[in-house]
Structure 1
């Protein structure tokens, strides 16, 4: 099951109105900023007698361009910023970690790690059996303390966190495992004293994960509670029903 977040910013600029070049106006028409101008002769204001006040014309022209430029800048740099958040389920990815010596007679420090992005409840099974030289499982079962020795990890009926053996034979880690976090050891060490003919001892560990922050209709109590005999208690800790 997958939680992801995606942020997207969309930037849009305001659209400046009108062109930014020079304008030629007939006498008495509105100027570039939309105001009515003075009567002109050849594009410059005139006084009675036909004399052109050149200095004043330059000052007015500069003022008009400055005001229009300021208004244009405000419109041009107007933007809007939208953030879109999409929430999806997080990923859970259990991984079995262990140390296995070169002689293949000792398995130790077996635990489960959550390599996903969301907290999850973890459960694991341990299967111990014989197989022949071709990898086929044999019907005969190995005998503990005779054919192999095993020292379990934090499996108990009290204290937290810990492994709890459910009614279904799975071992459940009693608290949710966060992203990139791990359980305590399920097995501290499993050893085979020696070899017996062509038979090989196999200690097989498998694991499953269930996202912890699901709704009541699809979380632990709905999916695993009936088979395990466990339920989610205070602060998400698993307890026997």
Structure 2
């Protein structure tokens, strides 16, 4: 005798016989992916990135015997290349009995100054600065700006002495737009300062 319920069950089983295989495969994939993710989480070290600003501190070096100032140049005490410029400020000074100092303006023309290589190494700007044309690497020196400077004596006020201050300024060489914008300079194709666009 034909058992309808019995035959329907067999047909249904034949129709869905791939279902147990699919379930087993899904379970295996879940375990594998879960195990891989757990391994990555448990075994990946973190990376710490520490950024610091480059340093471009300038320091003036010179020889001075109390009368003559010689071999004036600037060292880039920083750790990245920098453009360097220098201002020369001259004053007459006299120490008063009460310990104060009387200061009068002086002119660079009151000094006999022998400058370094102004054609190749330095540019005298109309803004009162002397620009070292090439950037200076960290730890390196500019060429000599002044090889020798001494008081002329012609206009020296009685009781006063000359004080020539050498004031250095620097700016990081990269990006070059920084020096162009801040100091108002122009650069040649080699990255050397070759002119001024304004008074900086």
* TM-score (structure 1 length as normaliser): 0.56
The 10-residue stretch of structure 1 (200-209 or 190-199) with the greater mean CA deviation from structure 2: 190-199
Confirm or deny that 1:151 pairs with 2:114: yes
Structure 1: give runs of 5+ residues left out of the alignment.
1-74
CA contact 1:121–1:177 (8 Å) conserved in 2: yes
Equivalent residue number for residue 4 of structure 2: none
Q: 2:104 aligns with which of 132, 135, 138?
A: 138
Could you say which structure has the greater relative contact order, defined with CA pairs below 8 angstroms and 6 or more residues apart? 2
Q: 1:234 aligns with which of 186, 189, 200?
A: 189
Partners in 2 of 1:203 and 1:232 — Cα distance? 30
Confirm or deny that 1:118 pairs with 2:73: no
Partners in 1 of 2:175 and 2:108 — Cα distance? 41
Q: 2:49 aligns with which of 68, 80, 85?
A: 85
Partners in 1 of 2:187 and 2:53 — Cα distance? 20
CA contact 1:115–1:180 (8 Å) conserved in 2: yes
CA contact 1:129–1:137 (8 Å) conserved in 2: yes
Q: 1:235 to 1:207 in 2, by over 3 A?
A: same
Q: 1:89 to 1:175 in 2, by over 3 A?
A: same
CA contact 1:154–1:163 (8 Å) conserved in 2: yes
Partners in 2 of 1:142 and 1:173 — Cα distance? 22
Q: Which of structure 1's runs of 4+ aligned residues deviate more than 2 A?
A: 78-89, 133-136, 141-144, 192-197
Partners in 2 of 1:142 and 1:117 — Cα distance? 35
Distance apart, 1:181 and its partner CA: 0.6
Q: Deviations over 1:113-152 (max 9, x none)?
A: 010111111011112221122432214x3574xx532211
Partners in 1 of 2:151 and 2:179 — Cα distance? 36
User: Alignment RMSD, CA only?
Assistant: 2.4
Q: 1:80 to 1:172 in 2, by over 3 A?
A: same
Structure 2: give runs of 5+ residues left out of the alignment.
1-38
Confirm or deny that 1:164 pairs with 2:123: yes
Q: Deviations over 1:89-131 (max 9, x none)?
A: 2011100001111xx1011100010101111110111122211
| Residues matched between the structures, number | 150
